[in-house]
Amino acid sequence: MTRPGSHQDSYAESWHRDFFKDWSVDRPASPEQILRFAEARSQRKLKSRPDSQLDAIGCLPMILPFVLLSASANQETAVRAAVEMAALTHPHPNALQTVALFSKALHAVMGGACLRTQSERALKALGQWETSVRYSRQAQRFPSGSEKRLQVHQRAVTELGLACYSSGALSSLFHLAHEFHDDPVGGVVTNTNCGGLENCSRGAGLGALLWASAAHRDQTLPQTWTRTMRDAREMVPRILQELDRRLDFVQIKMSVCGCGVFIFLFLLLPECTWASGPVPGPVPGPVPGPAQVFVPRQQAQQVLVRSGQVLVRSRRANSFLEELRTANLERECVEEKCSYEEAREIFPQRQQLEVFWSRYKAGDPCSSAPCQNGATCTRLVHSFSCKCAPGFHGNLCDKTRQTSAPRCRHRNGGCEHFCADSTERAQMCSCADGYKRHRDNTSCSPIVSFPCGRPQVFFAPRVVNGQVCPKGHCPWQALLTENEEFSCGAVVLSPVWILTAAHCVLRPDRVYHITVGEHDRTQQEKTEQKRRVVKVLLHPDYNRTSSDSDLALLKLDQEVKLGRFVIPACLPGPKDQDSGPVSGLARTLASVRVSTVSGWGRLTQHGRASDVLQRLNVSTIEFKYFTEAQRSSRAHAGLPRSHAPEHLQEHAVFRVSFWGQDSCEGDSGGPLVTRFRKTWFLTGIVSWGRGCAEKGQYGVYTRLAQYLPWIYSTMELN
């Protein structure tokens, strides 16, 4: 269900396919035949498979429109309409109890009830409240959107009910509704990641609950359905006239919120009608039971009486599908309480509308301005709702949303590559060049043969006392030569662009070359590609004294060919990142304790350079922990000691050496890469250091996230 191309029919889908296959064989042509067909088929299925498809949560998407369209009706009528519809295809007692429990909760939430309270009541009725609380407490230990928190929700859904059976699946649904009552998008995405045969049906019910809650009333489904029904008002009289002429049934297909789910309304008038309200006066013949959908013709005629070509109801308020009919003052504002929008349909002139409304709503709940912090108050039938201004939430918009701690700060907001906080959505995920965003909107899939940051071999990483980097394990590493002599390391950004340290290319009279695919400098391995540097672009803020902004971009005379031994490192931010705060991914990468550095630098303080490419792990030290004496260190790797910086800028990032491991002279300009999930990102460039693997000393790397706008714009303009 959650992987492209892996979808198979769920229990609910196969059951409904089977239902309409039988329908096409029997072809019932009258109301009596339809009822006999449904009842006989249900009894047959109950005897043969009482605990399979019949007891599945797959019936929930089918009944959602009935509850939504019955939002203005009393709860009993709305629930009965939903149960009657479900009984046509899922007559199992467990499934019907599931439908009733869910319909009550959804109807209450649409009326302004608290979703968390309704979810708690439902879980207690299902006997799963204590289990839900236990997992809720476990989830609160981890940041919102984190992988560990998702794992807790997955375990909860597995225990409560991962299969399609109604009671277990409904318990999982209400658990997620309780946990994500204020985050509809997060709830639906988490439900999808939890998997299961019926995660689509479970998600449909969950989505309806979440978006119908008071905090999201401006997006709620009932309003959308109401507008759709009113747009179809002109079509309904023609349908009724046709039904009056022909004894047949009409299928009206209504798509439910963009999903591939359809609802079938059998409007069998005038021979029969929906049992949606009380029938006035005594009626001869049998009284329909609670599970019956249709009533006999004589009883139907007591509800609908003929007056020429017009069908008139004796009572119109709170009845099923009342929004299909033309606006009427008696029905909308006398038989029931009407909303401002309903009154506006009756009084098209604004002046008349305001006069009527001021008299009708003498006790306007919005007149006392209950909504706080600049929120908009909206009148409802029995209450009001508040549409909060940005930065606030809660039923009265009295709670402040912590905009200073956006979701991208926690585990990169669930994104595999780049995360950007959005005012309209919780967060927005995007991908590096060579990738496309997966349909789950968080993960990234390669669309080229050799995408950045993905070596074609798997390794678990570990230049002084380091280990040899096996061939192809550091494919972004490049070697910089000055007048044919090895001088520094560098890193591949694209087939034509190389990044290195500025102090490595300060002599314009020298000829610089870049070699990629290099491993052993003493051997010709037939994987090397050598290119001449035709353009050297130093960062405009580079300072030789302080080594601040120690970066340079090198353009090659011709492109290198990407392959197993030449792959670019991914930059830790998107192209559209501005010069403001660093991206969510950059913050996440900065919190990773261990990164990997590589190069051909000296193996000891005064030793010779390595012939074979080395790599090792280094760990982060925060800038604030360095003493003033350490900040004034003049030890600089790759430069004469007299060129070492007098003080440090906060654009530098520190990595401490452990157990005699460090970068050293010759490693300058090389890459510091950090792995996040399956991708390696370039987080630093080797700049300088104090000693080589001396106890308590450190190496300094230029923090790349601060310079992404310059890197992207320079490559684009040149």
Strands 529-538 and 512-516: antiparallel
Give the SS3 label for residue 74: coil
Give the SS3 label for residue 274: strand
Closest alpha carbon to 613 in 604, 601, 605: 601
Closest alpha carbon to 181 in 243, 234, 113: 113
DSSP symbols for 286-299:
PPP-TT--B--HHH
CB 599 within 8 A of CB 667: yes
Beta bridge partners of 480: 488, 514
The overall longest dimension of the chain from CA atoms, in Å, is 109
Q: Which two tokens stand for residue 156?
A: 């909860």
Beta-carbon count within 10 A of 2 CB: 14
Give the CA count within 13 Å in the CB-facing half-sphere of 642.
Answer: 0
- E-assigned strand segments in 78-139: none
Beta bridge partners of 554: 498, 536
- Is 503 noted as a catalytic residue in this protein? yes
Angstrom distance (rounded) from CA 121 to CA 193: 25
Beta bridge partners of 56: 165
Angstrom distance (rounded) from CA 666 to CA 676: 27
- Is 550 noted as a catalytic residue in this protein? yes
CB 565 within 8 A of CB 448: no
- Is 668 noted as a catalytic residue in this protein? yes
For the chain, the straight-line distance linking the first and the last C-alpha, in angstroms and rounded, comes to 46
Angstrom distance (rounded) from CA 86 to CA 84: 6
Q: Which of 70, 167, 549, 668 is catalytic?
A: 668
Strands 485-492 and 477-482: antiparallel
Angstrom distance (rounded) from CA 656 to CA 249: 78
Q: Which of 503, 519, 539, 636 is catalytic?
A: 503
Give the SS3 label for residue 176: helix
Q: Which two tokens stand for residue 176?
A: 């997620």
CB 356 within 8 A of CB 340: no
Catalytic residues: 503, 550, 668
